[in-house]
Structure 1
């Protein structure tokens, strides 16, 4: 009965939302963006390459709320990868974490001081149910204190190339909710700051480096400490995941990533969805309601999947027409072919595959004075292909480092052995007389 009542209330709220959605929207009236999104800012990104497909006020510093937990997740996965902690490791709960976890006005699972919890239990309650007490418990386990953990968060953000950001706690709560025990060096009423672009960049790195995050973020519902007196049902706050109990905004292909909601930050959402071999990251920040953030995310995802496609721009073995070789000095051959090492695919607007102009971005460490030096091995990396977009809407990439990292790699098409001293001697003599003849003309 409780489930039916909850679902009935939910559908009533949805009906009310859909009714008011067609009325004038005074708080965010007619935002000047091409998609007309009812949000303070937004961004849409190719999750494979980091290329931006759409953006609106993407650099505005806003409050991400619980989307902050994506950084906590990243540092957790990193700590496990480096064998600093393990999934089955048990940890006790501090007095501070206990106090926070008992506040059911916040998103929480109740934790006991006389119990130990595994890292996996705490992580799942954070990733699925956005449990704040569990998040702080993980921060304390990894860094010794939330203060130290916040330092790690800001350092990692800078390492990722985030701009317009500042972390003051591990959860995304306002520091006022932390019972006067907010991290040292932060103010009592501060809240984390991230732009939509910074949030998408964080999501990009999380998915690239630890794609297993989707195994948990895609779980629609799970019971915490099932079979015990502490059992609690954790309904995923991401209502776009197919199979959630609300079923309001089910969207095929959505399997993450993190919602956020505070009084200061409004309602935000970082979504990721995969369809037709395309994985998209969509960030919507500061809508007026929980439902509206999903409605606006749906519009972003629909725009992506209806207007873009994944295309192979270059096959393996491709070379730029008219520039298929590079000069080689001290080699048995005077030139060597350069080709792409792998096929290169990217999400592009439909019909725009001819709007990308390739050019070589050669590694200055291997190309000296315009030439390569023998000996050279086959498949030796020479650099990459830079792509210049000639279309109308060029939003670039999340960061320059991500752009460079995703350029198609070019390699030598064959081996070039070093010529012996006699060949080099006669070649030098020939070049000397050739130059002499030219100078006498």
Structure 2
């Protein structure tokens, strides 16, 4: 009896241990495995992201959809709307502006980043733009907002509308500068709170930078200027040194860096949107609320960015996955109706390139996506068809084991047009008639054959 009881006790204890382990494993209080929390790089920031600039492919991410303060990285949207207005010829670089009372008062506050503007002064849009882009001048940014929107209040509406248009889902703008509204001396835009500040996610910041570089690449001609004098040769001359200390020639100079925008407030912490190009590959990086050793909060954004850039450039490169005129085996013909030929071959128009992690080039599978608007209900193309006519596109699917973060815009930019390899002329009425008759009798014959089969 004693042996039986010992055996029973062991079984009972084992059952309890197993039950406890199972409950712990599936308990909502148990720690979840999260790739972003187990950051192999140890990026010391609340959020960070790295994006390859030609495709928008995200190659690194940490808390990329967390909404955080952005501080003066806000000015990228102000720059975007200005460059858009320049391209649409609504504003010109040599257009002049006289400061409003609001802009004048803000520009005189040297505890903020500013170039002092005279109340009776006249400034070109180019001067204001350079002061904003190089020196992060807040008064100049509000001046630009007033030129484009008529008022900062109206400009903020334009900023939020553009954010929606660009698909920025975790973004809210309350002013044109990135300052906390309390720094605007009670003159903050109507409809916004006195203690509000602009917020975005790392993905949204990177997406904004992606669009800015893609649509207005000339931004880099100004963003890469290390030093410049505002109003050079006048009594108002101010020496402007770029706040982006990672530009070559400055204290944290880093190979290939030529932009883009820093930011710092107590709310947002130390932030930086960087971009650099090496060996034919450009990347965009964002760090938000970067931290580190030492009391100089400004430098943390650069040390964490350098860590991120070194990782990407060391581990990724742009590779040609599939050449031009590529055909997927057994999937590169499409049926054709009303044509002299009943099928047409399709192929890629250009080669497909993507930033690939070292050793993972064979982990991508091609996939055709045909334009449904061009196809019949049976998935056929209709003759006549020109040679080289676009019928869809080819993209790729990642089949490897690394975490796939997707693309910064949410949609794959890594795709190439799929076109017809040859032309297909429309068959004449006689051929179409004969096919119709043949099809009719074929259907009759098949129906009769099936009926006979059913007898047996």
TM-score, with length taken from structure 1: 0.90
* 268, 289, 304: which one aligns with 2:271: 268
Q: Which residues of structure 2 form unaligned runs of 5+?
A: 1-35, 292-296, 450-456
- C-alpha contact 1:165 1:194 (8 A) present in aligned 2: yes
Instruction: State how far apart, in whole Å, the 1-side matches of 2:101 and 2:306 are.
Output: 41
Contact 2:37 2:62 in 1 (8 A): no
Q: 1:304-383 alignment to 2 at 5 Å?
A: 304-369=312-377, 370-383=379-392
8 A contact 1:259–1:268 mirrored in 2:
yes
Q: Which residue of 2 aligns with 1:26?
A: none
Name the structure 2 match of 1:438.
446
SS at match of 1:337: strand
Determine helix, strand or coil for the equivalent of 2:49: strand
2:286 to 276, 283, 287: 283
CA distance in 2, matches of 1:437, 1:42: 67
Q: Distance in 1 between matches of 2:218 and 2:228?
A: 17
How far off is 1:433 after superposition? Answer: 2.4
Distance verdict in 2 for CA 1:222–1:376, change over 3 Å: same
Is this contact kept in 1: 2:354–2:414, CA < 8 A?
A: no
Q: Give matches, 1:109-120, under 5 Å.
A: 109-120=115-126
1:32 Cα offset (Å): 4.0
Q: Tell whether 2:408 aligns with 1:387.
A: no
- Contact 1:384–1:409 (Cα < 8 Å) also in 2: yes
Greater Rg by CA: 2
The one-character-per-residue Cα deviations of 1:211-263 (angstroms, maximum 9, x if unpaired) are 1100010111111111001111110000111022xx2x211100001000001
Aligned counterparts of 1:52 and 1:118: Cα–Cα separation in 2: 38
Measured in 1, the distance between the counterparts of 2:328 and 2:344 equals: 14
CA distance in 2, matches of 1:320, 1:104: 62
Residue 180 of structure 1: SS of its match in structure 2? coil
3-state SS of the aligned residue for 1:74? helix
CA distance in 2, matches of 1:103, 1:391: 54
Instruction: Return structure 1 stretches of 4+ with deviation > 6 angstroms.
Output: none
Counterpart Cα distance in 2 of 1:227 and 1:438: 93
Question: Match for residue 87 of structure 2?
Answer: 81
Equivalent of residue 296 in structure 1, options 304, 308, 311:
304
Residue of structure 2 aligned with 1:39, choices 36, 45, 69:
45
Distance 2:312 2:57 in 1: 13
Q: Aligned in 2, Cα 1:252/1:383: closer, same or farther, shift over 3 Å?
A: same
Distance 1:111 1:198 in 2: 32
**Contact 2:47 2:288 survives alignment (8 Å):** yes
Shift of 1:434: 2.5
Matched positions, count: 407
Give me the whole-angstrom Cα distance separating, in 1, the residues matched to 2:101 and 2:414.
46
Distance apart, 1:31 and its partner CA: 6.2
Residue 224 (structure 1) aligns with: 230
Distance 2:38 2:73 in 1: 25
Structure 2 equivalent of residue 409 of structure 1: 417
1-structure distance, mates of 2:55, 2:383: 33
